[in-house]
Chains A and B, each alone.
Chain A
């Protein structure tokens, strides 16, 4: 079974600084997809960035980028120039399109990010 682990329950960063959130996962599959979702107090899960495992190039979306290390099964999220609106719970998630996975998402436990002005 696939598992996703986020070892940092809480992180904090000063506004305009950079922060990195960690995520590791376990899978026996070679072709899968990884996501970072943001959940603000409004509770809606918002997709931040996605990475395809067969692509070596790390994904970037504006101030958000990932460091994908397939061999180490590591998928960290870097937030540059942090803004107050980045404060939220961040979840790392895994999906696989094959077999009996049904395309379900497997989530980590989450990291609460606080941004200080």
Chain B
């Protein structure tokens, strides 16, 4: 049992559309991070939320945004989809920012997004 659940598992969208990906973290995990993993590549850090506020962002444009809710769920929203947004999107959670850095994160199985 992973403790981190992502939905949907697969998604196909058209260029220019908007998409929302969802993640349910382990209870008590106040920190959630989102990663983009292109095919055959390592994951790239998109951003991180701690107690419902964004507290770190990678090199991704503002059309990538997120929300974190008090019930340990979170969302990744992508506007104006581009073909290069096709990737596996991974959600990862930890008790806190420091704990994640020290002990690693618990990952979900990801959402495979295809933009056509």
**A interface residues with partner B (beta carbon < 8 Å):** 4, 6, 33, 35, 37, 42-47, 50, 52, 91, 93, 95-97, 100-110
Are A35 and B104 closer than 8 Å at their CB atoms? yes
Counting CB contacts under 8 A, is B48 at the interface?
yes
Q: Which residue of A lies closest to B44 (CB)?
A: A107
How many CB-defined contacts (below 8 Å) exist between A and B?
80
Are A102 and B97 closer than 8 Å at their CB atoms? yes
Please pick, from B44, B58, B88, B105, the residue contacting A43 in the complex, using a CB distance under 8 A.
B88
Counting CB contacts under 8 A, is B64 at the interface?
no
> Can you list 29 A-B pairs, Cβ within 8 angstroms, ordered by A?
A6-B42, A35-B104, A37-B104, A43-B110, A43-B112, A44-B2, A44-B107, A44-B109, A50-B103, A52-B102, A91-B43, A95-B100, A97-B97, A97-B98, A100-B56, A101-B56, A102-B48, A102-B97, A103-B31, A103-B94, A104-B33, A104-B45, A104-B56, A105-B43, A105-B104, A106-B45, A107-B43, A109-B41, A110-B40
We find that the number of chain B residues with CB closer than 8 angstroms to chain A is: 32
Are A107 and B103 closer than 8 Å at their CB atoms? no
Which residues of the other chain, A, contact B108 by a CB distance below 8 angstroms? 44
Q: CA of A104 to CA of B58 in the docked complex: distance in angstroms?
A: 9
Besides A42-B109, A108-B42, 17 new A-B residue pairs in contact (Cβ under 8 A), listed by A number:
A4-B42, A33-B101, A37-B107, A43-B88, A43-B112, A46-B107, A47-B104, A95-B100, A96-B101, A100-B56, A102-B97, A103-B33, A103-B100, A105-B35, A105-B45, A105-B92, A105-B105
**B interface residues with partner A (beta carbon < 8 Å):** 2, 31, 33, 35, 40-45, 48, 55-56, 58, 88, 90, 92, 94, 97-105, 107-110, 112
Q: CA of A44 to CA of B103 in the docked complex: distance in angstroms?
A: 17
Are B45 and A45 closer than 8 Å at their CB atoms? no
Are A102 and B55 closer than 8 Å at their CB atoms? yes
Which residues of the other chain, B, contact A50 by a CB distance below 8 angstroms? 103-104
Chain A nearest CB, measured from B47 CB (Å) = 9
Q: CA of A91 to CA of B90 in the docked complex: distance in angstroms?
A: 14
Chain B nearest CB, measured from A54 CB (Å) = 11
Please pick, from B42, B48, B112, the residue contacting A103 in the complex, using a CB distance under 8 A.
B48
